[in-house]
Every structure is written in C-alpha cells, then in structure tokens.
Chain A
C-alpha cells in the first residue's frame, strides 16, 4: 500500500508540473483554431487530435488541468477557512453560538450538494467572461462547501475546549483569543489539513459535473468540466479513444488524491 501511495504522489507531482508548465510545452494556445483541421485524429502536429472547432486537444488538456488543479485548492482553502470560522468558533464558544452555527450547517447539509450547487450557480450570470466564470464557479464551490467540514471542526474544537490542558491554561489565566491561538488552533491543525485535502477532489469532481451540465467555466477557457462536455458526442471507443484522455487524467488525479487521503481518514 505504501508503494501505491508513493506512486500516487509521483503521479500528482508530474501532472501538477506538467500543467503549470502548459505555456512552455503546449504546441498551441488553448483558443487557437486550426480551421483546416477540425475533428482531426491524433497526428504529429496534434498529439490528441483537434476538437470540432479545430483547437489542439493536447494544449487544451494541459491548460484545462492547470485551471482545475489551481482553482480547486483555492476553493478548498476558502471552504476550510469558512468552516474554521463557523465550526471552530461555534465549538469554542458553545451555547447559542453553536446551536445557530449547527442549524446553518444542517440547512446546507439537508440539500444534496449537487442540487444546491446547481440552483445557486444557475442564479448567477451565465454570460460572463471566461475569467469571471472561473472565479464564480470556484468561489461558489468554496462558499457552499464548508458545511460538512464545519461540523467536523465544531466537534474537534468542542473536544479541545473541554480537554484537561485547555482547562489548565484557563486556570492559569489564559482567556479568549490567546487561548484559541496558542492551544486550540495548533491542535486543530491535523483536522484542518485533512478537511482541506479532502475538499480538493470533491471540488474537482463538482466542477466537472457543473461543466458537463454547461454551468462551469465558460468557453474558450478549458477546464476538466468543459473538456468532458466533448463526451456528449462520443460515438466509439475504438475510433475516438483520444477523446477519453481528459477523463482518464481526471480519474487518475482524483484517484491519487483518494489513495493519498485514505491514510487521513481518522481526521475526516
């Protein structure tokens, strides 16, 4: 199992490096159209062929991977911060604060994640620039994805608040923010890190779902979601196998996250 985990790390590192250097080794820009060669099969010039608009698929996969792999951690960071604010403070203060925060958490958790995401995304403008659509999509993931983490963090903070060493710190005269910063937050670090890492694959998958439904990142900017929309016109595994490359990459990356995270389940 350790070797599989190490392989997952190596694969993730390779994909991240590959996507970050998209500008260096992509044969064309993601929006460049080779109008004389739409829907062309793989060739020396276009390693993964072109899409229906004649855009180089390999370049789009590289740039799309960069978008998904940079923005999903940013959204995960935002959701973890919100969860820390809502769950951590509620758990630390207890009483009515905790009840109100947990009622809000219940409200968010009572609706299926994709339904909530779909409803809220559809409420926002759909005809925006590609850059704005990236910001809107991932901001939304971060803003709506905090509830489950908040519950875990609330329970963790409550446990720490009632622990012996915090009681001793209180008895020594430590109060309020200093107690939180010096004793509670450092001990919450493993939980926070686990929640952050767990959120990344969830957000990658959610963006892909939204993208396929046409509510993700706007064209011509690619993301895994928008690249997977091509599968709508998929007709054959034999003749169009290269169209499956974005899916394969998504599965490999998210599986790698799952394998790496299986060790952190204790904190999840």
Chain B
C-alpha cells in the first residue's frame, strides 16, 4: 500500500512537471502573446487593451500554471485560443475517438505480432527466422506519417496504420523473448517427456514470458499514442492527436498544457498498470 502511494505521488509529480515544462516552452516560443484580433480595426482601444490584458496574464508562467492547477481541481480546464471552445468539451468529444483508434490499433498490432512470433518460434527454421527479421525490419523502417498517407490513398481503416507501427516493435521483442523461453532447461525436459507444442506453449512458455510481455504492453500504448498524431492529422480524424497538432501549430497554451498532462497521465498509467500487473503475476507464480 505504501509503495502504491509512493508510486502515485511520483506519478503526480511527473504529470505536474510535464505540464509546467510544456507551459514554459509555449511561453518562450516566438510570437507568444500576440493575438490577430488586436489588428481588427473594428475593435476600439478598450477592447484591444482588454485582449492585451487577457494575454498578459499568461506571460507569468508560475502564476498561469498555479491558476490552471487550481481551476483544474474544480474541473475547469480553460478555453482553447485557436478553437474558441472550452478545453473540457474538446477533450470529451475527441478522447473517445482516439481511444477507439488507438485501442483497435493496439489490438490488431498485438494480435498479429504475437501470432507471428509464436509461429516463427515454433517452426524453428532459419528461413522463417530470416523472413521474420526482414518483416520486422521493413515495418520498423516506415514512418507513421507515410503509413497514414498510404492508408488515406488506399482508403483503408486508419487503426491499421497504428497497428503497423505497433506490430514490429512488439513482434521483435516477443520473438526474442519466446526464443529465450524455449531454450530454458525445464522445457527440454518437458519435450523429452513427450509434451506437445501447444501444451508447452500454454503451460511453460507463456507464464514465463507473460510478465515481460506485460511491460511491453505499457510501452506499446505510448508508441500508439505517438503514432496517433500523424495518423489523425493526415487522415483527418478529429481526435486527440489532431488536436495536439493544431494546438502545437497555433501555440494554444491552455490546450497544449491540458494535452501534455492528459498524454502524460495515460502513458504513466499504462506503464505502471502493466508493471503492477506483472508484479502481481510474479507473486502468484511464486
């Protein structure tokens, strides 16, 4: 329990530091604080001054961030400068879209990777090994943005582009892990005693490799989230990735800080969730 509390405290500290880092970066960016509405000749001097004042509040980063955190605790995430809409509303609209996209991509990527890795390990032929290495290397070499463009061209589901980004990393790790597990001495004994390949896989290999595969599960969430940015931006999907892209280009401070915090929370939660699940599995085995 104490360890869990310590983990949560560390997670909160990293999230707060991540938000502060992105706020500082936006503040230091050239062109920050300018508002094109100030050039609108229909606005009188008081309105222009009011706009300038509103921007001036954001110039002091510690003050902006403190106010942001206090407001966030009350559920107010501020308003997007570029889209002129409450950030909370934008996140509520777009989060499910990205969750579906990333979820489907992760599922498809993992399914392909694990099935192919098991197949390549069980066949144990140099040609299969070579083919597996080449397939992994090929997909590792295509940028996510190119995959997104090719999927737009082919009118294929965008989640498959994310699956192809996740697949090679999970595949190469799973294949190496399974190869290592199959060379353990107790598996040789199981083979010698006549156990079938499926029985060996389910009873002897997967329990050993499972805990380490869980660690990759956490990392693959981060990979898929990263891939969602070019995929959503280029495929025209209104999700969190596209929002991050628009916020970065528009130097939209409130939106960018919220997105950084959100992405950091999701990544950390995925990593620590997989770490705890792995620890739980190891404890049960022991």
Contact = CB atoms under 8 A, between A and B. Distances in A.
Contact of A107 (B21, B133, B229): B21
B135 to A, nearest CB: 10
A201 B145 contact: no
Interface stretch (A21-29, A164-172, A249-257): A249-257
A123 B25 contact: yes
| Chain A interface helix/strand/loop/mixed | helix
Interface residues of A, number: 41
Contacts of A228: 143, 145-146, 149
A112 interface: yes
Given A111-B260, A114-B229, A123-B26, A106 B14 contact: yes
A194 interface: no
B146 A212 contact: yes
B30 interface: yes
Interface residues of B, number: 53
Contacts, number: 134
A267 interface: no
B89 interface: no
B205 interface: no
Contacts of B230: 114, 209, 212-213
B118 interface: no
Interface in A219-268: 228, 231-232, 234-235, 247, 250-255, 258-259, 262, 265
Interface of B: 10, 13-15, 17-18, 21-22, 25-26, 28-30, 126, 129-130, 133-134, 136-138, 140-146, 149-150, 153, 176, 222-223, 225-227, 229-230, 233-234, 244-245, 248-249, 251, 256, 260, 263-264, 267-268, 271
Which 10 residue pairs are nearest across A and B when measured between Cβ atoms? A112-B226, A254-B141, A122-B248, A212-B145, A258-B137, A123-B29, A114-B226, A208-B143, A255-B137, A251-B141
